[in-house]
Amino acid sequence: MNKVYIAGPLFDDHERSYLENISAILEKYSYETFLPHRDAGLVKGEFTQEKKSNIFNSDMEFLQSADIVVALLTGRDVDSGTSAEIGYAFATGKVLIGINANNIKELNNFIWGLFDYGNNIFNSLEDLEEHISNLKA
């Protein structure tokens, strides 16, 4: 297992930066990572059919080949795109790892269940790194 798709909201610099920190941790342990905003790009200008198709196709290509999906589960509710990626990953038997980043809101119960009944959800980047380190040991 060495390909990791990183899912999460991409609405602002903070969210994208947090996802990049997740990627850096995984890459430190020799995982190949895919960040949708970094590797498929963000739409600039008009959101045309061609741009939407290109981004979706790039995301799906890596998501299909990934062994693991790491998802940022923060916010008032889990981002809809992230939820779709999580559902796809679960349905296709991929390992799911979640980070709630010490979110104060209780996580949706169904989402919680997809992450091995919460056993694969971590509170911080430090907790994630400890988990990844143990996997590589």
The domain locations on the chain are 3-136
Q: Is residue 8 helix, strand or coil?
A: coil
pLDDT of residue 78: 92
What phi-psi label fits residue 3: left (phi over 0), alpha (psi between -120 and 50 degrees) or beta? beta
**CA 34, 40, 41: angle at the middle one, nearest 5?**
120
Is the domain 3-136 a CATH 3.40.50.450 member?
A: yes
pLDDT of residue 5: 97
The kind and range of the H/E element at 68 are strand 68-72
Of 73, 59, 76, whose CA–CA distance to 18 is shortest?
73
pLDDT of residue 105: 82
Which tokens belong to 107? Answer: 């996580």
pLDDT of residue 1: 62
Residues of the chain with pLDDT under 70: 1
CA distance 121 to 71: 9
